[in-house]
Amino acid sequence: MSSNAARVAGRHFLQIPGPTPVPDRILRAMDMPTIDHRGPEFQKLGKRVLEGMKSVFKTANPVIIYPASGTGAWEAALANVLSPGDKVLMFETGHFATLWKNMAIKLGLHPEFIASDWRIGADADAIEARLREDKNHEFKAVCVVHNETSTGCISRIAEVRKAIDNAGHPALLLVDTISSLASIDYRHDEWGVDVTVSGSQKGLMLPPGLSFNALSPKALAAAKKSTMPKLFWSWEEMIPHNEKGYFPYTPGTNLLYGLAEAIDMLHEEGLDNVFARHDRHAEATRRAVRAWGLEVLCRDPKYYSSSLTAVLMPEGHDADAFREKTLDHFDMSLGTGLTKLSGRVFRIGHLGDTNDLTILGALSGVEMGLALAGVPHKKGGAQAAMDYLAECASNPLRAAA
């Protein structure tokens, strides 16, 4: 298909916090003839990915794979363990926590939202205090976003689990890891999570189209009592087929080929090394932001994300105008501000199959874009990031600190 637009040389810098660039190796793995999803060849693939995803979630329990976006996995988590009219406790970490809350309302649940200014992760102390007030244990679940993609703030899930336990509350713990799985350390079993939600298009380095529920025995027991209508999302439908390597309906076969390759790539690098790489790139990005004289949206280092950094624009300057200028001149996409952050922030994604030079290229593009858009800033942000990454390369212990 011809176009009158001039060709742009080089790779597009996709620096949004997902979908992330898909490595060639995964694209080649997906470039396979579609096979019989009831045959023995598919059975081997099904068992491979269903077992392999347990290692990524760090669980010994079942992981469900849906041909859906992360929104589908949200709905599956709620629909399988809850019943219409149930109360759930949620924390307002940002845009995506708000969307999950709105979904709960549409499903006939009664969410209570602990408010915040979108500049921190979930406050475990606030969750514990509210659960202590719930003497009749009306809350059936606590829902938390591990990494809030709209703000660049993480929630400390081990602390949330401890808060629930300290309150002596039986509520299930449901966690969204859509923009943190395979990017930030996550431990489904060790942290006592009952349902973990995730998607394929971020740390797993795949195109959009797969989503996940990692389960606990407590969640499986709750599912037997759930009266929420469901069929496509039903674990009860899925698990007997999954045990044999199959699915109750047509799966995303070629995406599963890519998933098998992604799991191999993560283990070849080593999950701890993957997390350290993301930590390093996040710190390099924050150093660049500080050197520019700009402000990171996340106001408490305790909640810094290693998947993305949201940057506040100076008063009177539009983040979207800056993003447009950067795209036009440097062929780089940056994340937009969502809902009440619209025009106020831009987001730099540093997750997925990313290396030091990619991050430095992205930060150089941001610095040049700031200058072209007339955004007040100091020069030297990209250099500050370069100095940090060079120091990490020469002193691995420094990088791990």
Which residues fall in the annotated binding site for substrate?
347
Is 150 in a helix, a strand, or coil? coil
User: In terms of DSSP H, where are the helices of 21-66?
Assistant: 24-30, 40-57
- The CB-side HSE value for 187 (13 A sphere, CA atoms) comes to 10
Neighbours of 316 (CB within 10 A): 7
User: How far apart (Å, rounded) are the C-alpha atoms in residues 346 and 341?
Assistant: 9
Residue 335 carries which DSSP code? B
User: How far apart (Å, rounded) are the C-alpha atoms in residues 249 and 55?
Assistant: 25
- Taking every pair of Cα atoms in the chain, the longest distance, rounded to a whole number of angstroms, is 67
Side chain identity, residue 161: R
User: How far apart (Å, rounded) are the C-alpha atoms in residues 64 and 213?
Assistant: 5
Q: Which two tokens stand for residue 47?
A: 């068992």
Q: What are phi and psi of 40, to 5 degrees?
A: -70, -30
Contact at 8 Å (CB) between 338 and 308? no
What are the DSSP E strand ranges found in 229-279? none
- Binding site: residue ranges? 347
User: How far apart (Å, rounded) are the C-alpha atoms in residues 317 and 315?
Assistant: 6
User: How far apart (Å, rounded) are the C-alpha atoms in residues 99 and 339?
Assistant: 11
Side chain identity, residue 246: Y
User: How far apart (Å, rounded) are the C-alpha atoms in residues 275 and 161?
Assistant: 22
